[in-house]
Structure 1
Amino acid sequence: MALDFPLIFLLPAHLGSEELQGLEDQIPTLTYDINEAEVILGKVSRKERALFELRKHKLVLEEVARAKGSASPSPKCRRLLTPVDAFSDATSDTASDTESHVNFKQPSSPVFSTSRTATVKVVKLAWFTESVKAGRVLPLDDYVVFEGRKPPPTPMKPQLLPTTTAADILKRALVDAPAAPGGGSRPRFSYGQGKGRMEEPSHHAKRPPALIHQTTSEHEIDLHLPPIPDFLHTTYSCQRPTPINPPNETFIEQLTKIRTARTLTGDKIGVRAYSSAIATLAAYPYYLSSAQEVARLPGCGSKIALLYQEFKETGELSEAKEDEIDPRLAVLKLFYEIWGVGETTAREFYNKGWRDLDDIVEYGWDSLTRVQQIGVKYYDEFQAKIPREEVESISNIILQHANEICKGFQMVIVGGYRRGKLASGDVDLVLSHPDENATKGIIEKIVVSLERSGYITHTLILSTKNSERGQMPVAWKGDGRKAGTGFDTLDKAMVVWQDPNCESSDGEKKKKKTKNPNLHRRVDIIVSPWKTAGCAVLGWTSGTTFQRDLRRYCKKERSLKFDSSGIRSRAEGSWVDLETGPDGKPAPDMLTAERRVFRGLGLEWRPPEERCTG
């Protein structure tokens, strides 16, 4: 039975991605809105650090003096403890503002108070972990770093209404005349791509609506809303069909822009919350009609509902628009798109004063890794999308070279291509062979063969970890450490590809000295042993949130550890074989193996085109 914790906001500071995700999965009363939290939990040990985190999250609290050894408010404050808010046991990955439900009874728990006037406590992470270990919610006394109360709103002074005369009314009417029909400041419609959008006057600052407004007609529509599909009553996007072009794609694109900004600024909790909301909306099979329809969806709530209301009224989101014109975010995005540079490194580049690629080359070239140097060198070419026909051509050349080394290799093109994208950012493919001896060490031979043929110009990463351990799936806690954070340990080569065959305008082969006009492409070649090929194809095909939720589902529902190199038992640490048939025979092909993984995990089969969670 879940412990009766208060509403908890988890501070991401000093938490790694794996630790952050693990804690979020454990907290039954997690909220992503710090303003509604009763306890703010984190790796905080000093009051100064607690105050810094509160300022960072824009939460203003008035410090409350606490009696040493007392977890409850002073007698003077205790008189204010009615009515109180009931706790909610709902758990979801949302960016919502959960509404409070009120009951009029005195709180019974001595650990924390739930009054509207109760304080908010910044608490050490040890309180939660030790409570879980003890099987009960421990008193907060020894763990509170800072305690504060939200300041009451400033009361408005009553003002006497001035006497209004007919002359005053006429004067005001003349002043307001430009805003009437035909006036210059009335909002106007503009039409772009077939859709009308409201444009605010330039002197108006766009702001998200503070409340969800609902007209009578909208209320009537809500009475006839379509039922929420059964598959949306789960927090795991791996249990839902999610098409590549959902009905509400335009609104989702706006949310994706906000999520990108959160990624660039290091807001891990915001990224996860928006990812969950986007995955839910992408799986919703109906066109949205009202903010109330959004609020009822799992993973969304009132925060996303307010954003939808703004989108419905204006055709865009002000936050997304502001992010697009933010010069700092524009630079961070430029750096983030360099191959080999993550969001943390992008911020480091920015903090060094660099503002474009030329700055990196002039001031920091020698400090870059070789991979980052290649990413900068071919930045523009890597940004160009790869058509499906070219993806197929590159993949078939690689398969041909593999079969020249050892006949019998099979291949599945994965990534965005398999999910149905018309163009891809890179080429991802999985190779495997029924004979396990054929896949051992083959990746190095394939790379050498393609380099000699002129197709591979640079090898960014070459990993042979799987072959080095005899192609055995690594145990969950092998060698006394975790097996990773979701990235597999398969043999792989991440390379730069350029077709060496180029022709002049008259169809003749160009001389070798002439510069090759073909674009450099990013290609990932993954080699899996046959016994885990289904996991490899599943992991490398699915969208990011689908993969995240698949790992979460395996952990919470099956006590398993999943990644593309296999499935392991969390209880015993050993490999779990889901790809061998009931007759003891291996799968006849890689796609059949993938279906067996779905079935073995108790998941309904989802074709690649339904795994587009983003």
Structure 2
Amino acid sequence: MVPLKRRKTLPSDAGNTVSDSSRHKVPNKFSQVVLFLLERKMGASRRFFLSQLGRNKGFQVEDVFSESVTHVISENNCGTEVRTWLESQGRGQSLRVHLLDVSWYTESMRAGHPVEITHRHKLQEQQISEAEVALFSVSSYACQRRTTLDNHNSNLTILTGVFGVGAKTADRWIREGIYNLEQLRDSGQTLNRAQKAGLEHYDDLNEPVTKAEADAIGEIVQKAVNSVLTGSQVALTGGFRRGKLTGHDVDFLITHPEEGKEVGLMPKVVAWLESQGFLLYQKTTRNSYLESKDGPARPASNMDRFERCFSIFKLTKGKEQESTQPEEQNDLKTKDVLRPHMQADTDQQLCELSKNYQMEAASHKIWRAVRVDLVVSPISQFAFAVLGWTGSKLFERELRRWAGHEKNMSLSSHALFDNTQNKYLRATSEEEIFAYLGLEYIPPSERNA
């Protein structure tokens, strides 16, 4: 068996220098405070973002837990759980550190200095069972664990709730003093096309998408695909395939049973959707995946290389809503709303009345914006694409890690390559892929790691 590789760790002082060489090193302003963010239940990407935010504010945030740490920051863990973790690191009894909820950290970031620690910031002790304690020693591979939807992980949205804005851009804006949408609109920042659409449709895009809405979009996509290439297949993936009732977007995989028939399909589908008025925004990328007899090259990023359309759909609300709100009634006139109040004698009153009108008009809107990703896959790669696009992200990452460390294989959303036999392993179903990896098959509903 190939031994596990140790995760590379940075020295404690390396965390104060960001990877981008264009950024300067921010001096530590608070020498008596040394912070460590616990990744458990917080997630690696969120921990990285919050750590960088703290360092940019002048805090010393350690990547590795050590004796110098004075404050341990946790999210969705009780004090007992964190102490159990400390004990598992051999540090439980000897250290006297503050065990704090992430709320203390975010409040300190806003204040620009460590805020006073109050009772509500302190992690509370709770009784946990032996089974819960055992969670700290289970296999590190999420693809060996069954994880249902009933878990307590949560995500943080700051400015990253704007479509087209990632952690790096949000971090830059925060360092420039932009913390909310109003400040972003007034800042004069140059936004790309995706970010402009994201800001314009922010409320809709941050409203959960229901399974019924996902199914309605699925019917539209299926109609579009059938209109340009009969016999094509459309599969709903992502969280909805894992059993979620709501999500932040909708993902569809498209293929055709005859290899090669899918070439040129995406532009035709997008053109049909645009002609029918379904797209508020779209950006298409081409398929850049190529197989090599020597095995897959290391990808430039974690994203696959399928032909893809990132889009914002204009989804008409249900017929039962339309019947009670006909379009002629929805087309409200400002004068009709303001007429009873024409005696208002101050600009502030008129401004408030105008805001009320806008809110009333928005409440009568018969459509909403929804994020939709369309992905086209050749039938030979479809099983791998379905597995990769079903998620969760952590489950997929751990599945690839298992393949590499335990089986000496390379897994992606395109293919599975056996490095020992120096050949690709073909599969027509997810069950075959799990079998190649020597894993018990886990259904989509239990991949919510």
Q: TM range, normalised to the smaller chain?
A: 0.5 to 0.7
- Residue 234 (structure 1) aligns with: 139
Whichever residue aligns with residue 232 of structure 2, its letter is: F
Query: 1: distance between equivalents of 2:61 and 2:404?
Result: 32
Whichever residue aligns with residue 205 of structure 1, its letter is: H
Distance 1:233-1:502 versus aligned 2 partners, 3 A rule: closer
- Residue 564 (structure 1) aligns with: 413
Query: 2: distance between equivalents of 1:3 and 1:420?
Result: 33
Give CA-to-partner distance per residue, 1:108-148, whole Å, 9 cap, x none. Answer: xxxxxxxx9xxxxxxxxxxxxxxxxxxxxxxxxxxxxxxxx
> Alpha carbon RMSD of aligned pairs, Å?
4.4
Q: Give yes or no for contact 1:9–1:34 (8 Å, CA) kept in 2.
A: no
Query: 2: distance between equivalents of 1:449 and 1:3?
Result: 49
Alignment of 1:487-502 (within 5 A): 487-499=303-315
- Residue 369 (structure 2) aligns with: 520
Query: 2: distance between equivalents of 1:458 and 1:209?
Result: 44
Query: 1: distance between equivalents of 2:169 and 2:293?
Result: 31
RCO (CA 8 Å, sep 6+): is it higher in 1 or 2? Answer: 2
Which secondary structure state, in structure 1, belongs to the residue aligned with residue 371 of structure 2? strand
Distance 1:54-1:417 versus aligned 2 partners, 3 A rule: closer
Whichever residue aligns with residue 380 of structure 1, its letter is: D
Q: Give yes or no for contact 2:287–2:306 (8 Å, CA) kept in 1.
A: yes
Alignment of 1:269-284 (within 5 A): none
Query: 2: distance between equivalents of 1:473 and 1:97?
Result: 47
Q: Give yes or no for contact 1:408–1:433 (8 Å, CA) kept in 2.
A: yes
1:569 Cα offset (Å) = 4.4
- Residue 611 (structure 1) aligns with: 447
Are 1:436 and 2:259 an aligned pair? yes
Q: Give yes or no for contact 1:454–1:500 (8 Å, CA) kept in 2.
A: no
Whichever residue aligns with residue 600 of structure 1, its letter is: Y
Alignment of 1:33-44 (within 5 A): none
Give CA-to-partner distance per residue, 1:585-606, whole Å, 9 cap, x none. Answer: xx4xxxxx22221222222111
Query: 1: distance between equivalents of 2:373 and 2:403?
Result: 26
- Residue 101 (structure 2) aligns with: none
Give CA-to-partner distance per residue, 1:302-360, whole Å, 9 cap, x none. Answer: xxxxxxxxxxxxxxxxxxxxxxxxxxxxxxx3311111111221111111122321222
Query: 2: distance between equivalents of 1:465 and 1:549?
Result: 25
Query: 1: distance between equivalents of 2:4 and 2:208?
Result: 49
Are 1:412 and 2:274 an aligned pair? no
Are 1:349 and 2:173 an aligned pair? yes
- Residue 576 (structure 1) aligns with: 424
Give CA-to-partner distance per residue, 1:483-524, whole Å, 9 cap, x none. Answer: 233311011101010136887545767699899630011000
Query: 2: distance between equivalents of 1:432 and 1:604?
Result: 27
Q: Give yes or no for contact 2:201–2:369 (8 Å, CA) kept in 1.
A: yes
Q: Give yes or no for contact 2:231–2:256 (8 Å, CA) kept in 1.
A: yes
- Residue 336 (structure 1) aligns with: 160
Are 1:364 and 2:364 an aligned pair? no
Query: 1: distance between equivalents of 2:265 and 2:184?
Result: 37
Are 1:551 and 2:367 an aligned pair? no
Alignment of 1:80-159 (within 5 A): 96-100=86-90
Q: Give yes or no for contact 1:455–1:500 (8 Å, CA) kept in 2.
A: no
Whichever residue aligns with residue 393 of structure 2, its letter is: T
Q: Give yes or no for contact 1:538–1:594 (8 Å, CA) kept in 2.
A: yes
Query: 2: distance between equivalents of 1:552 and 1:506?
Result: 53
Whichever residue aligns with residue 548 of structure 1, its letter is: R
1:236 Cα offset (Å) = 0.9
Are 1:532 and 2:381 an aligned pair? yes
Give CA-to-partner distance per residue, 1:375-413, whole Å, 9 cap, x none. Answer: 111111101111111101111211121122111111221
2:270 to 447, 452, 455: 447
Distance 1:403-1:351 versus aligned 2 partners, 3 A rule: same
Which secondary structure state, in structure 2, belongs to the residue aligned with residue 487 of structure 1? coil
Which secondary structure state, in structure 2, belongs to the residue aligned with residue 521 of structure 1? strand
Alignment of 1:104-253 (within 5 A): 205-206=119-120, 208=122, 233-245=138-150, 249=151, 252-253=152-153
Q: Which has the larger radius of gyration?
A: 1
Query: 1: distance between equivalents of 2:224 and 2:411?
Result: 31
Query: 2: distance between equivalents of 1:4 and 1:417?
Result: 34
Query: 1: distance between equivalents of 2:270 and 2:5?
Result: 56
Whichever residue aligns with residue 88 of structure 2, its letter is: T
Query: 1: distance between equivalents of 2:278 and 2:227?
Result: 16
Whichever residue aligns with residue 341 of structure 1, its letter is: V
1:535 Cα offset (Å) = 0.8
Q: Percent identity?
A: 23
- Unaligned regions of 5+ residues in structure 1, if any? 18-31, 36-52, 62-93, 102-115, 117-149, 151-202, 261-332, 580-586, 588-592
1:602 to 428, 432, 438: 438
- Residue 43 (structure 2) aligns with: none
- Residue 300 (structure 2) aligns with: 484
Q: Give yes or no for contact 1:486–1:562 (8 Å, CA) kept in 2.
A: no
Q: Give yes or no for contact 1:237–1:545 (8 Å, CA) kept in 2.
A: yes
1:563 Cα offset (Å) = 2.0
Distance 1:486-1:571 versus aligned 2 partners, 3 A rule: farther
Query: 2: distance between equivalents of 1:476 and 1:418?
Result: 34
Give CA-to-partner distance per residue, 1:258-304, whole Å, 9 cap, x none. Answer: xx4xxxxxxxxxxxxxxxxxxxxxxxxxxxxxxxxxxxxxxxxxxxx
Query: 2: distance between equivalents of 1:476 and 1:358?
Result: 52
Query: 2: distance between equivalents of 1:502 and 1:551?
Result: 41
1:462 to 284, 297, 306: 284
Whichever residue aligns with residue 578 of structure 1, its letter is: R
Whichever residue aligns with residue 451 of structure 1, its letter is: E
Which secondary structure state, in structure 2, belongs to the residue aligned with residue 565 of structure 1? coil
Whichever residue aligns with residue 146 of structure 2, its letter is: P
Distance 1:10-1:339 versus aligned 2 partners, 3 A rule: farther
Give CA-to-partner distance per residue, 1:522-576, whole Å, 9 cap, x none. Answer: 000111111111111111112121011011111101222222122234568x762
Whichever residue aligns with residue 436 of structure 2, its letter is: G
- Residue 110 (structure 1) aligns with: none
- Residue 265 (structure 1) aligns with: none
Query: 2: distance between equivalents of 1:353 and 1:213?
Result: 39
Which secondary structure state, in structure 2, belongs to the residue aligned with residue 520 of structure 1? strand
Whichever residue aligns with residue 352 of structure 1, its letter is: E
- Residue 301 (structure 1) aligns with: none
Q: Give yes or no for contact 2:146–2:447 (8 Å, CA) kept in 1.
A: yes
Whichever residue aligns with residue 195 of structure 2, its letter is: Q
Query: 1: distance between equivalents of 2:9 and 2:315?
Result: 54
1:204 Cα offset (Å) = 5.9
